Amino acid sequence: MKSLIATLAIAAGLAAPFAAQADTSTNLNAAAQSAMQTALGERAKDLTVTVSQGVASIQGWALQPHDVDVARYVVSKVPGVTQAYSSGARTWTATDRL
């Protein structure tokens, strides 16, 4: 019985850093998304940010290329984000001319 309790205690001790990292990652995702929403307002409604190990990835649709640039810049300034990429972001274009 003691070995079972010892094994569970060791497992819990090893899992704690991963749980803390997951919580930090969730907070970082929320902070990055919030910063982008604050900076772009309605223009960020179809953009999402995912942060993993300090690297932010912006995905979704933007109205203009400038919106993607602003989103990338703002997200890169969030504490804990070391790099920000927008390779998953696309812009809407209108090809119909009147």
Mean pLDDT (the chain, rounded): 81
Element (H, E) at 58: strand 55-62
20 pLDDT higher than 70: no
Instruction: List the domain boundaries for the chain.
Output: 2-91
Q: Provide the pLDDT for residue 92.
A: 83
| Segment 27-69, tens digit of pLDDT | 899 999 999 999 999 999 999 999 999 999 999 999 999 999 9
Q: Averaged over 4-32, what is the pLDDT?
A: 59
Strands (E) across 39-97 are located at 47-52, 55-62, 83-91
CATH architecture classification, 2-91:
2-Layer Sandwich (3.30)
